[in-house]
Structure 1
Amino acid sequence: MKKMLFIFCCNLAVQLNAQILTPDAFISQVRSFHPIAKQADIKVDKANAALLSAKGGFDPTIEMEASRKTFDGKNYYFYTNPEFKVPTKLGGLDIKAGLEDNGGLFLNNQVTRGQSSYLGLEMPLLKGLLIDQRRANLQQATLFTKQSEQDRLKMQNDLLYDAYNAYWQWAGSYKLYSIYKQFLQVSLDRFRLVKLAYQNGDRALIDTIEALTQVQQFQMLQADAKVKLTAAQLELANFLWNENDAAYLLNEKFVPDTVQFQMYLTVDKPDDIINRANLENPSLRSLAFELDALEVERKLKLQSLLPSLNIKANILNRGYNVLKDFGGAFLQNNYVWGVQFKIPIFLREGQGSYKQAKLKIAETNYELNLKQWATANKIRNYYAESLLLKEQIAAAQQAYNGFTALLKAESLRFQNGESSLFLLNTRENKVIETAEKLIQLRAKYLKATYGISWAAGVIR
């Protein structure tokens, strides 16, 4: 046992010289540089770009229409009509102002000759009064930006859960390899001592074979553990990216934090976690924003059941000052107005569109309810699994402590010549078997515990 203590101290010194990659440092790097994390940010940027495009529906516009006809030396007509138009969010109202300069021998009688100006409005009175396509696009684009933020959090939640699992799998593989390495060294030293004792006539030949077999068994176990450790390191490398968007392999000087690997995590009660998930889970919130966007679509489709009744009116004036001599008499004599009315006879298009919008809302509500229930059950399942694994870990830890004590006693008996190498190897194998089981249980426990936060959608 003194030899084992010496080897443990040597391994500890090696680890102290190594550089520990903590889970917090690893996750911080994944959050900052992993391509999926950056894709999630792009998703938000795209939604913001769509919102900017939707706002463009309310951009003021300047239009210019000009034409002229001259034939056979005659000036038939000329038109010069610039117009400034301001769309508003108030009831679909558009405000417009313009100038006109018209003339020619054959000018249309409906067109004002010479220089004139106008100021007016266009506005729907039925269909399009409460909401129209421009306002619907803007409202939906605003909701989609909020939804994209939830989609970003969902992608990050999934990414970090996978990253945590890869890290703890690496930590477990590293710890298991370290145990095999430690016991292999002990068995090699024991084999040399037994072989020396056989050469001096103090041990039988069968003891050297027994010691050698133990060495060979540990060599196979260590080789298998090395393969698993390498695989875990490569799996971890899937999450390793730098600020230059380049992936890289983990330097061999880095080792995992095996101290945190053996610690328990603090977990809230399932009902508290479920309540938090209902408020913060990005998948649920994304569906809620989708429902809001569908409600905007329903309101827009409801407008399609109404007839179109649009009004437009302008005040007119000679010259380019439209408000010159503005007053009651002016308003009675200088205006143009018009009304446009349209209604489909059967309203089948409007009825079908409105029904489709309502069915989409119902469909999404069912999806949301199903998602909420599935999320709650996942949280309960991971919570129950984590509690069960904690009990198994406690039992395995007690068994490990017991087998370690038995190994220590058997080693003393073997040194005093009161035990056989077979019994010592049996005790040693039992310790290693229990240690391997304990590592597996801890890895499962960490996966289940992080699974609670993942199911709730709160891994940040």
Structure 2
Amino acid sequence: MKNKVLLFLLIFNVSWGQQKSLSSTEYWQIVQNFHPIVKQTLIDIKQSNASLTIARSAFDPVLQHYSTQKTLDGKNYLDYHAPSLSIPTWYGIEFNAGIENIQGSRLDPSQTVGQTSYLGVQIPLAKNLLMDKRRAALQQAKIMQKMAIQDQRTELNNLLLDAMESYITWVRSHQVLQLVQANYLNATKRLDFVRKSVEFGDRPAVDTLEALTQKQTFENMLTAKAVEFTNARLGLSAFLWNADNSPVDLSDDVVPAANEEIRLLANADLNLTSLLDKAMQNHPEINNYRNKLDVLGIEKKLKFQSLLPKLDVSYNHLSKGGPSLYGASFLENNYKYGIKFELPLRLSEGRGAYQAAKLKLETEQLNLNQKQLQVEIKVRNYFNQFEALQKQIRTQESAYTNYQSLVKAEEMRFENGESSLFLINSREMKSLEAAEKLADLKAYLQKTTFALQASAGVLYEN
């Protein structure tokens, strides 16, 4: 309940005797803080962090203890205890140490009776020296973590674009509703004026019918615009959630903030060259294609190891009893070493796997080039649309001003008996159409500006 109250205070500027309002800044913050998609992207990032932790586990030191005993017909054949510690390192070198305690009457001659200890190292000198599965998995997990962050940016860019388009539609619907309300009130006043003029004999009775028809026209328009505003509010509510993951319904009496301008656009980058540079350098989808190339590059390095012979050497320094290195000569008396060499004569599997990895890299590079071109075209399209809309708005503002002047002039002529209600109504309808067209163009410009930022991948950059 407390969260809902705090959200209510965050959403609405409510003061005693004032109308509730929702500004674009408040709405933006609510969507970023509470929308389920935002929380889902955070879960995805946490999952990538968990995968990275799993990959790091391949380099965890391992402490183990093996113990076995065999007794038959009262004879102690074998009593074996072997605690050990192995420490893998980044470059494929693995250190190990342990103690063996072997007792029994039926032992292998190669086994040393009693307690011995060892300290050793295993080193790959060819295959797996520069890359192995453990290192590949960890490096790829780190890149997958970066990809999860870029996926979050993509999702939030799309979410915020949809959310702000709904907000702009809501604002535009409210503005048009106010325009029609103003015209309806004006038509009502004119009808009262005409009726009084008819009573005094200054106007013909048919003018009453003309004024009434105009009022009824605006009344129908008012009903239609009220439905549009209601539906726009429902669309807006789809993006409003609280901290308890419950949707919030926007109440009927909430309206856009007075004289609301989309303040978030004040700092928007509207320079084409700058937007293209940002898109090529840091667009989340382009970044993820680069991340995929990095993942495939690691896979290629790993597959190359299959073309190398396997040459591993191991050395263990041995001590009787417990561990002792004091005064020890590592290549005299007590030691054990080994060499393992392995080479498939045709290398068929290695050659095939390496070629497949190279082809994947080439394919992904082509995908990256195509994505970069798609992003560039999209940014340019929205920018061209943005510039064209600015010109259209300037022309439409001038036209709307002219229509308003014509209405006022016709009203003055009507009051002087030099015009008719038909001409006033006609000019009034044209003026309303021009005002609605202007509101549509401004809303379209705002949506285009947000779409331009989203196309460059900078609508959400954090």
TM-score (norm 2): 0.92
CA shift, 1:261, in A, is 4.4
Query: Structure 1 CA distance, aligned partners of 2:355 and 2:170?
Result: 54
| Equivalent residue letter for 1:109 | P
The reply to whether residue 143 of structure 1 matches residue 170 of structure 2 is no
Task: Count residues with an aligned counterpart.
Answer: 443
1:39-66 Cα deviation digits (max 9, x unpaired): 1112211111111111101000011111
The match for 1:442 is 442
The match for 1:26 is 27
1:321-376 Cα deviation digits (max 9, x unpaired): 23254136xx3111111122222222121112111111111111111111111111
CA shift, 1:192, in A, is 2.5
The match for 1:193 is 193
Question: 8 Å contact 2:390–2:445 — kept in the other structure?
Answer: yes
Query: Structure 1 CA distance, aligned partners of 2:222 and 2:94?
Result: 79
The match for 1:88 is 89
1:145-182 Cα deviation digits (max 9, x unpaired): 12211111111111111111111111101100111111
Query: Structure 1 CA distance, aligned partners of 2:33 and 2:362?
Result: 38
The match for 2:356 is 356
The match for 2:370 is 370
CA shift, 1:272, in A, is 1.7
The reply to whether residue 387 of structure 1 matches residue 359 of structure 2 is no
SS of residue in 1 equivalent to 2:438: helix
The match for 1:284 is 286
Question: 8 Å contact 1:117–1:316 — kept in the other structure?
Answer: yes
1:381-414 Cα deviation digits (max 9, x unpaired): 1111111111111111101001101111111222
Residues 262, 348 of structure 1: alpha-carbon distance in 2 compared, 3 angstrom cutoff: closer
| Equivalent residue letter for 2:275 | I
The match for 1:308 is 310
SS of residue in 2 equivalent to 1:17: coil
SS of residue in 2 equivalent to 1:79: strand
SS of residue in 1 equivalent to 2:404: helix
Question: 8 Å contact 2:116–2:320 — kept in the other structure?
Answer: yes
Query: Structure 2 CA distance, aligned partners of 1:405 and 1:17?
Result: 33
CA shift, 1:195, in A, is 2.7
CA shift, 1:275, in A, is 0.7
1:284-317 Cα deviation digits (max 9, x unpaired): 1111112111111110111011121122211111
**Structure 2 unaligned residues grouped into runs of 5+:** 1-14
**Divergent runs of 4+, >4 A:** 260-267
CA shift, 1:446, in A, is 1.0
The reply to whether residue 418 of structure 1 matches residue 418 of structure 2 is yes
Identity %: 38
CA shift, 1:110, in A, is 1.7
Query: Structure 2 CA distance, aligned partners of 1:366 and 1:291?
Result: 11
Residues 34, 353 of structure 1: alpha-carbon distance in 2 compared, 3 angstrom cutoff: same
The match for 2:458 is 458
Question: 8 Å contact 1:180–1:221 — kept in the other structure?
Answer: yes
Residues 119, 351 of structure 1: alpha-carbon distance in 2 compared, 3 angstrom cutoff: same
Question: 8 Å contact 1:309–1:342 — kept in the other structure?
Answer: yes
Residues 308, 262 of structure 1: alpha-carbon distance in 2 compared, 3 angstrom cutoff: closer
Question: 8 Å contact 1:147–1:286 — kept in the other structure?
Answer: yes
The match for 1:259 is 259
SS of residue in 2 equivalent to 1:332: coil
Query: Structure 2 CA distance, aligned partners of 1:394 and 1:137?
Result: 58
The match for 2:234 is 234
CA shift, 1:198, in A, is 2.9
TM-score (norm 1): 0.93
Query: Structure 2 CA distance, aligned partners of 1:295 and 1:319?
Result: 49
Question: 8 Å contact 1:34–1:239 — kept in the other structure?
Answer: yes
